[in-house]
Amino acid sequence: MKRLALTALSAAITLSVAAPAQALDRKVKIINETTYDMVRFYGSNIGREDWEEDILGSDILGAGDAIIINFDDGSGYCMFDFKAVFEDGDELIRKRVNVCETGTYRYTE
């Protein structure tokens, strides 16, 4: 009986510890502080081998503008790679951004 109670307690502790990791906030405010419009933006978890779809779609992130992006893709990952493409053709890639700890990410010149 004691062993069963310890097993149940252990399972309850495991569930209570695992649940918050899945419930982490993955929203990041992306701020374009450059003088160029951002025409494409990609954010892929580090478990992927390719870039996912363009998050901006047909929109742009104008110079001086910001957008809040929810990176919760259901994978449980917190580490994402970012790729921003600007109207002048520049591409900026940042590897291993922790979206569970980063509330704001700025692109500057």
Q: Is residue 16 part of a domain?
A: no
Q: Is residue 79 part of a domain?
A: yes
Chain centre to alpha carbon of residue 49: 16
Residue 88: give the domain boundaries. 25-108
**Does the pLDDT value for residue 4 go beyond 80?**
no
**Residue 22 confidence (pLDDT):** 54
Q: What average pLDDT does this structure show over 57-75?
A: 96
Q: Is residue 9 part of a domain?
A: no
| Domains: count for the chain | 1
Q: How many residues does the chain have?
A: 109
| Amino acid at the residue 37 | D
**Residue 24 confidence (pLDDT):** 85
pLDDT-derived band at 85, boundaries 50, 70, 90: very high
Chain centre to alpha carbon of residue 74: 11
pLDDT-derived band at 109, boundaries 50, 70, 90: confident
**3-state SS track over 12-35:** HHHHHHHHHHHCCCCEEEEEEECC
**Residue 23 confidence (pLDDT):** 62
Cα dist. 51→40, 47, 61, 96 in Å?
12, 11, 19, 13
